[in-house]
């Protein structure tokens, strides 16, 4: 490590330096690279050189390592992810040629996939290392699996208050999130909060998919019961030792992937740059190299998609030189091996609003399957994923970016009266359902609070111990998604019950298991099969136009052209 | 069960099945999608067991995945088709047994045999056998005092 | 520094291999490899002596006994805490990493689950450690205490995460593979910094 500079003593600082030093960006943490330990974004002399050798239909050498020396990641990737039939031919193509294919609109997505399915982790790294951020964005525009971009929201509560979660889920669904996710401060609250999320989401917009981030086995159980609709916190790691520290292996995770599919439940894995070095064992490899191993492991497991973009470790690549370029590259790699990509922007990233926005652009501008894998649909102080890059305070800024640049980030402006209406309905529906299920009562005062609240501080306090008992009873009694349908129907929330039943019925068809699937407001499954990305240059692919563009032209305050003395919204 | 692959041959244009081919879809209990109505839920005719996916449907989705050049996804669906027969609790047990240092080699092989023999789950069994082999090589089997 | 301050320091005296406890009224405090050794303070400069003193006080104010062990072969908080819980006569343990991250664990829970987790080390001050000790003791007595309020400063990540990773790398270097946990006796001293 280099020596630190001696602190200047008694030297007068300029007024300008004082001002700069007080800027929010200087509250962020930045550290030096330490490549020997893997504290480096994507350019490291310690990463392996690309190579592959096939004998008798089996990969016997991968990135300079012979099969006898394979760790379990090498083994899994060699045996499940890489196409043995084409790998030698694909690996023979120079990296700069593959990088050019990624940005050339004349080369179809399908033609690129024909090459990438034979590439090793080190070769993929070699390709994306040639690309600057603009080229990475060009690649993403073409390689994203679903033609129509979407967004995902978080709905959580610092007090794990289910009424807040329901009301904010309803508002988030109405504003446009295709998926909504929650998690807990106190894990035992999970059943009540997961129920609240599901009810709120189906009030806001029928067909929104929900999930509750928990330890793997519990997350699966809530999914099997139909209380949640998809799963995503199935973490994977790029080194064997960190994977084992997480108490899993590629085989346990592959089995889990099939377990979810066997219950008709949509699922994606989660990984991201920085997790291995954060957990102390990067084996001296760069963050992006290890992330590419994760991406190929996910591909080999046959899971349809991946949440990546550093995710909960964003502070690590964020502190490194070129770190945000590496994060954009990891999203591209997920897309260029044909996985659904829920592309981060889901964790508090910077004290600087400018830096937060800059970090978003490589995903917002080209569009990804889910631009945020968790835009905070609650104020960040209530975000139990420890904050997101964007929260409720930023809704109007986001809508303005979309309108300024004419890009679709998955959200829209909604009038206040409509928002208040769905918030109230969500709280009322949950109140009725709790009573039906004999859970701790929700008072009218709590419903009233939910309509006008911003944060958990605006709600009356719950009896936490009674709620935790209620939560346990949900598990003990074996309450299922169908019980929620019955309760909503019995208490007069017929349309919400119908929405939830339709979501549950999707399990029977399995349509949501295909790559990048979401449900439209008309309950049509939209995936990389029936909405395949067909970008082929200017004027092609997804274009923000027509009815959707008219919708995104609306903001809170727009002066009317007809009568400039009034505003339209 | 994977031997009885559906005779129909599907391609990308057939997706989504819930809209284009609802006639091909049955619950594991033999009900059609159109039977899963609110009235049937309220009357108790439809239970949580009816809201599951049938192995035949997973094999149809595997065909769609294969036809969309996603062989790994198709393989996942085929394992899933086998696993529909395994009760929730046992699925979780097998998952936990596959965690690192959770099982001896014999325990893993016994699980594989049960999957193959009792459930006819050849591909899932093969995955567990492969794990047993790799775990042995990488020292990830249960340590003696933990087995 | 201009003014010399009096600071409490702690050293951990090894007393032998950590055994499974038989007293149902004990809580184990399980410390990471570099705690009060290679490192002396948490990520926000709270002395390890103070962390330990507050945990012990919190446990003892509930009339419960505390036993301190050092885990040497892993720097993973869940593993450290779960191992502590398995050694604890009550089945309850508090695990702590050098940078301050802490967890209350119970031996019958899956390793990656927990009773309470305090993941944001920069937000853990003396008061929180005392409450963690107190709550662990109440679980040991079979009570269901209200969880210690989770602090949630979403801006800790951008400021501290990379430094935390750096500290973790340094702690990882202190791991002694295949060496079992040892029981330690904390010896507190006042020193002039």
Of the residues A330, A346, A369, A483, only one is catalytic, namely A346
Which residues of chain B have a CB within 8 Å of the CB of A515? 68, 70, 73
Does C162 contact A218 at a Cβ distance shorter than 8 Å? no
**C5, pLDDT greater than 70:** no
Assigned CATH class of A52-130: mainly alpha
> Is residue B85 within 8 Å of residue B128, measured between CB atoms?
no
Cβ-Cβ contacts under 8 Å between A and C: the total is: 114
- Angstrom distance (rounded) from CA A28 to CA A49: 34
pLDDT average, residue stretch C68-96: 96
Write down how long chain A is: 569
The predicted pLDDT at position A281 comes to: 85
Closest CA to C69 of C185, C177, C168: C185
- Chains with ≥3 Cβ pairs under 8 A against C? A
Residues 371-410 of A with CB under 8 A from B: none
Does C157 contact A387 at a Cβ distance shorter than 8 Å? yes
Q: How many CB atoms lie within 10 A of CB A300?
A: 22
pLDDT average, residue stretch C79-103: 97
A369 is catalytic: no
A181 is catalytic: yes
**C187, pLDDT greater than 60:** yes
Residue A18 Cα, gap to closest chain B Cα (Å): 53
Which residues of chain A have a CB within 8 Å of the CB of C161? 29, 278, 313-316, 318-319
Token duo for residue A282:
């990067």
Mode of pairing for the β-strands spanning A230-235 and A266-270: parallel
The predicted pLDDT at position A396 comes to: 98
Tally: H helices and E strands in chain C: 4, 7
Does B42 contact A259 at a Cβ distance shorter than 8 Å? no
CA-nearest residue to A388 within chain C is C154
Asked if residue C149 is part of any domain, the answer here is no
Residue A222 Cα, gap to closest chain C Cα (Å): 15
- Angstrom distance (rounded) from CA A219 to CA A199: 18
Does A497 contact B38 at a Cβ distance shorter than 8 Å? yes
- Angstrom distance (rounded) from CA A274 to CA A310: 6
**B57, B58, B59, B64 alpha-carbon torsion, rounded to 10°:** 100
Which of C168-180 are b and which e, b meaning 16 or more Cβ less than 10 Å from the residue's Cβ? Answer: bbbbbebbeeeee
> Is residue A195 within 8 Å of residue A474, measured between CB atoms?
yes
H helices within B13-147, ranges in order?
17-20, 38-43, 55-67, 71-83, 88-97, 105-119, 122-137
Token duo for residue C66:
């505390």
Q: Collapsing DSSP states into helix, strand and coil, what is residue A393?
A: helix
Which of C102-132 are b and which e, b meaning 16 or more Cβ less than 10 Å from the residue's Cβ? Answer: bbbbbbebebbbbbbbbebbbbbbeebbbbb
Does A29 contact C163 at a Cβ distance shorter than 8 Å? yes
The predicted pLDDT at position A278 comes to: 87
Any A CB within 8 A of B115 CB: no
Mode of pairing for the β-strands spanning C116-118 and C102-106: antiparallel
Does B134 contact A509 at a Cβ distance shorter than 8 Å? no
Write down how long chain B is: 147
User: What domains can be seen in chain B, in order of their start residue?
Assistant: 8-84 (no CATH), 86-147 (1.10.1510.20)
> Is residue B79 within 8 Å of residue A300, measured between CB atoms?
no
Residues of chain A short of pLDDT 50, as ranges, are 1-3
User: How many domains, chain C?
Assistant: 1
CA-nearest residue to A519 within chain B is B16
Which residues of chain A have a CB within 8 Å of the CB of B47? 482
Residue A336 Cα, gap to closest chain B Cα (Å): 13
> Is residue A535 within 8 Å of residue A149, measured between CB atoms?
no
**C163 vs A31, A274, A280: nearest CB:** A31
Does A248 contact B100 at a Cβ distance shorter than 8 Å? yes
> Is residue A372 within 8 Å of residue A389, measured between CB atoms?
yes
Which residues of chain A have a CB within 8 Å of the CB of B57? 508-510
Any A CB within 8 A of B118 CB: no
- Angstrom distance (rounded) from CA A342 to CA A359: 15
> In whole angstroms, how far apart are CA A56 and each of A51, A77, A298?
17, 17, 25
> Is residue A274 within 8 Å of residue A313, measured between CB atoms?
yes
Task: CATH number of the domain at C90, please.
Answer: 3.40.50.10150
Is omega for the bond preceding B104 within 30 degrees of 0, making it cis? Answer: no
Assigned CATH class of A147-528: alpha beta
CA-nearest residue to A298 within chain B is B72
DSSP secondary structure code for residue A80 in this structure: I
CA-nearest residue to A216 within chain C is C112
CA-nearest residue to A303 within chain B is B73
Q: Nearest-5° angle of CA A128, CA A131, CA A137?
A: 95
Which residues of chain B have a CB within 8 Å of the CB of A71? 138
Quickly tell me which residue has 């004990």 as its tokens.
C26
Question: Chain B interface, mutation test: which of A529, A531, A532, most B Cβ atoms within 10 Å?
Answer: A529
The predicted pLDDT at position A7 comes to: 55
CA-nearest residue to A214 within chain C is C113
Does ipTM surpass 0.85 in this model?
yes
A373 is catalytic: yes
Residue B35 Cα, gap to closest chain A Cα (Å): 10
> Is residue B93 within 8 Å of residue B107, measured between CB atoms?
no
Q: Collapsing DSSP states into helix, strand and coil, what is residue C12?
A: strand
A154 is catalytic: yes
> Is residue A72 within 8 Å of residue A42, measured between CB atoms?
no
Q: State pLDDT tens for residues A217-269.
A: 788 889 999 999 999 989 999 999 999 988 999 999 999 999 999 999 999 99
Does A30 contact C162 at a Cβ distance shorter than 8 Å? yes
Which of C139-149 are b and which e, b meaning 16 or more Cβ less than 10 Å from the residue's Cβ? Answer: bbeeeebebbe
The predicted pLDDT at position A159 comes to: 95
pTM: 0.90
The kind and range of the H/E element at A306 are strand A305-307
> Is residue A210 within 8 Å of residue A179, measured between CB atoms?
yes
Residue B48 Cα, gap to closest chain A Cα (Å): 6
The dihedral of CA A300, A306, A312, A315: what is its sign?
positive
Which residues of chain C have a CB within 8 Å of the CB of A37? 169
The predicted pLDDT at position B144 comes to: 72
DSSP readout, A512-533?
GGSTT-EE-TT--EE-TTTTB-
The predicted pLDDT at position C4 comes to: 47
Region of C173 (left: φ > 0; alpha: ψ -120 to 50; beta: rest) is: alpha
- Angstrom distance (rounded) from CA A64 to CA A52: 8
Closest CA to A158 of A360, A453, A426, A433: A453
- Angstrom distance (rounded) from CA B126 to CA B120: 11
Enclosing domain of residue C180:
7-143+159-184
User: What residues does each domain of chain A span?
Assistant: 52-130, 147-528
Which residues of chain C have a CB within 8 Å of the CB of A154? none
- Angstrom distance (rounded) from CA B92 to CA A296: 25
A221 is catalytic: no
pLDDT in tens, chain B (147 residues): 444 555 789 999 999 999 999 999 999 999 999 999 999 999 999 999 999 999 999 999 999 999 999 999 999 999 999 999 999 899 999 999 999 999 999 999 999 999 999 999 999 999 999 999 999 999 999 987 644
Phi then psi for residue A543, to 5 deg, are -125, 135
Alpha carbons within 13 A on the beta-carbon side of A303? 36
DSSP readout, A135-165?
HHHHHHHHH-SBSS---EEE---TT--HHHH
H helices within A225-374, ranges in order?
240-245, 250-262, 275-278, 287-301, 315-318, 323-336, 353-364
Asked if residue C151 is part of any domain, the answer here is no
- Angstrom distance (rounded) from CA A303 to CA A268: 6
The predicted pLDDT at position B63 comes to: 98
Which residues of chain A have a CB within 8 Å of the CB of B75? 302
Does A264 contact B135 at a Cβ distance shorter than 8 Å? no
Does A259 contact B17 at a Cβ distance shorter than 8 Å? no
A152 is catalytic: yes
Is omega for the bond preceding C34 within 30 degrees of 0, making it cis? Answer: no
- Angstrom distance (rounded) from CA A105 to CA A103: 6
pLDDT band at C191 (very low <50, low <70, confident <90, very high): confident
The predicted pLDDT at position B133 comes to: 98
The predicted pLDDT at position B5 comes to: 53
H helices within A43-130, ranges in order?
72-76, 84-92, 95-103, 109-116, 121-128
CA-nearest residue to B60 within chain A is A510
A489 is catalytic: no
Residue A181 Cα, gap to closest chain C Cα (Å): 17
> In whole angstroms, how far apart are CA A228 and each of A30, A98, A372, B16, C141?
38, 40, 20, 21, 35
Phi then psi for residue B144, to 5 deg, are -45, -45
- Angstrom distance (rounded) from CA A469 to CA A466: 5
**A113 vs B52, B69, B101: nearest CB:** B69
Q: State pLDDT tens for residues C113-156.
A: 899 999 889 999 999 999 999 999 999 999 999 999 877 677 88
């Amino acid at each position: 490590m280099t020596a630190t500079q001696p602190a200047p003593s008694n030297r007068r600082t300029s007024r300008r330096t004082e001002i700069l030093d007080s800027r929010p960006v200087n509250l962020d943490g930045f550290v030096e690279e330490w490549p020997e330990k893997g504290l480096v974004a994507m350019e490291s002399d310690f990463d392996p050189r690309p190579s592959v050798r096939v004998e008798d239909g089996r990969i016997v050498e991968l990135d300079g390592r012979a099969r006898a020396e394979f760790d379990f990641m090498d083994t899994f990737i060699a045996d499940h992810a890489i196409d043995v039939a084409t790998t030698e031919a694909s690996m023979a193509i120079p990296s700069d040629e593959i990088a050019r294919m990624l940005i050339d609109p004349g080369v179809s997505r399908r033609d690129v996939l024909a090459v990438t399915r034979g590439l090793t982790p080190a070769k993929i790294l070699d390709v994306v290392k040639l690309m600057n951020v603009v080229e990475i964005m060009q690649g993403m525009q073409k390689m994203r699996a679903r033609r129509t971009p979407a967004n995902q929201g978080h709905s959580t509560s610092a007090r794990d208050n289910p009424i807040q979660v329901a009301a904010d889920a309803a508002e988030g669904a109405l504003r446009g999130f295709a998926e909504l996710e929650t998690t807990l401060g106190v894990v035992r609250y999970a059943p009540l909060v997961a129920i609240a999320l599901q009810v709120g989401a189906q009030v806001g917009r029928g067909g929104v998919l929900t999930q509750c981030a928990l330890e793997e086995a519990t997350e699966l159980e809530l999914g099997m019961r139909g209380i949640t609709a998809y799963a995503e916190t199935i973490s994977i790691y790029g080194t064997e030792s960190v994977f084992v520290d997480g108490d899993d292996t590629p085989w346990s995770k592959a089995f889990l992937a099939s377990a979810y599919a066997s219950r008709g439940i949509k699922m994606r894995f989660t990984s991201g740059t920085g997790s291995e070095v954060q957990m102390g064992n990067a084996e001296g490899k760069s963050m992006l190299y290890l992330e590419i191993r994760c991406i190929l492991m996910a591909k080999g497991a046959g899971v349809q998609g991946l949440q990546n973009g550093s995710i909960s470790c964003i502070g690590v690549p964020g502190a490194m030189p070129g770190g945000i370029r590496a994060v954009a590259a990891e999203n591209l790699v997920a897309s260029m091996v044909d996985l659904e990509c829920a592309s981060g922007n889901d964790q508090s990233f910077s004290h600087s609003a400018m830096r937060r926005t800059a970090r978003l652009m490589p995903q917002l501008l080209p569009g990804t399957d889910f631009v945020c894998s968790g835009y905070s649909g609650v104020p960040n102080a209530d975000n139990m994923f420890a904050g997101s890059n964007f929260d409720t305070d930023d809704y109007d800024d986001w809508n303005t970016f979309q309108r300024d640049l004419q890009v679709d980030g998955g959200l829209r402006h909604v009038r206040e009266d409509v928002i208040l209406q769905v918030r109230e309905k969500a709280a009322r529906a949950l109140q009725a359902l709790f009573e039906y299920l004999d859970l701790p009562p929700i008072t009218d005062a709590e419903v009233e609070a939910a309509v006008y609240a911003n944060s958990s501080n605006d709600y009356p306090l719950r009896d936490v111990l009674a709620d935790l008992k209620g939560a346990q009873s949900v598990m003990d009694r074996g309450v299922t998604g169908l019980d929620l349908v019955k309760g909503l129907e019995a208490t007069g929330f017929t349309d919400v019950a119908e929405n939830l039943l339709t979501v549950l019925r999707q399990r029977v068809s399995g349509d949501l298991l295909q790559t990048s699937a979401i449900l439209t407001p008309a309950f049509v499954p939209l995936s990389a099969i029936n909405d395949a990305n067909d970008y082929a240059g200017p004027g092609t692919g997804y274009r923000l136009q027509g009815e959707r563009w008219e919708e995104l032209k609306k903001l809170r305050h727009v002066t009317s052209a007809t009568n400039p003395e009034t505003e339209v919204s | 069960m994977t031997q009885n692959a559906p005779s129909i041959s599907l391609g990308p244009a057939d997706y989504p099945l819930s809209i284009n081919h609802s006639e091909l879809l049955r619950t594991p209990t033999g009900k059609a999608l159109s039977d899963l109505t609110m009235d049937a839920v309220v009357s108790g005719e439809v239970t949580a067991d009816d809201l599951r996916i049938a192995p035949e449907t997973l094999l149809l989705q595997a065909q769609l995945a294969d036809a969309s050049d996603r062989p790994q996804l198709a393989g996942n669906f085929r394992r899933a088709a086998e696993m529909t027969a395994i009760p929730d609790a046992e699925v979780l047990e097998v998952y936990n047994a596959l965690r690192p240092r959770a099982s001896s080699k014999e325990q893993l092989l016994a699980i594989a045999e049960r999957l193959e023999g009792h459930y006819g789950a050849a591909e899932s069994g093969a995955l567990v056998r492969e794990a047993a082999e790799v775990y042995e090589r990488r020292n990830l089997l249960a340590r003696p005092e933990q087995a | 520094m201009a003014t010399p301050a009096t600071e409490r320091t702690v050293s951990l005296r090894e007393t032998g291999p950590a055994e499974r406890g038989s007293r149902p009224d004990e809580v184990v405090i399980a410390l990471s490899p570099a705690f009060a050794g290679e490192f002396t303070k948490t990520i926000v400069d709270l002395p390890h002596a103070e962390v330990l003193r507050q945990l012990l006080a919190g446990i003892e104010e509930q009339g419960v006994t505390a036993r301190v062990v050092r885990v040497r072969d892993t720097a993973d908080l869940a593993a450290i805490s779960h191992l502590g819980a398995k050694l604890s006569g009550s089945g309850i343990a508090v695990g702590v990493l050098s940078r301050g991250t802490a967890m209350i664990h119970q031996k019958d829970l899956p390793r990656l689950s927990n009773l309470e987790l305090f993941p944001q080390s920069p937000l853990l001050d003396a008061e929180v450690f005392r409450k963690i000790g107190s709550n662990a003791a109440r679980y040991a007595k079979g009570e269901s205490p209200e969880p210690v309020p989770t602090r949630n400063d979403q801006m800790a990540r951008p400021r501290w995460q990379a430094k935390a990773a750096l500290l973790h790398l340094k702690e990882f270097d202190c791991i002694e593979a295949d060496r079992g946990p040892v029981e330690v006796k904390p010896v507190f001293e006042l020193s002039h910094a």
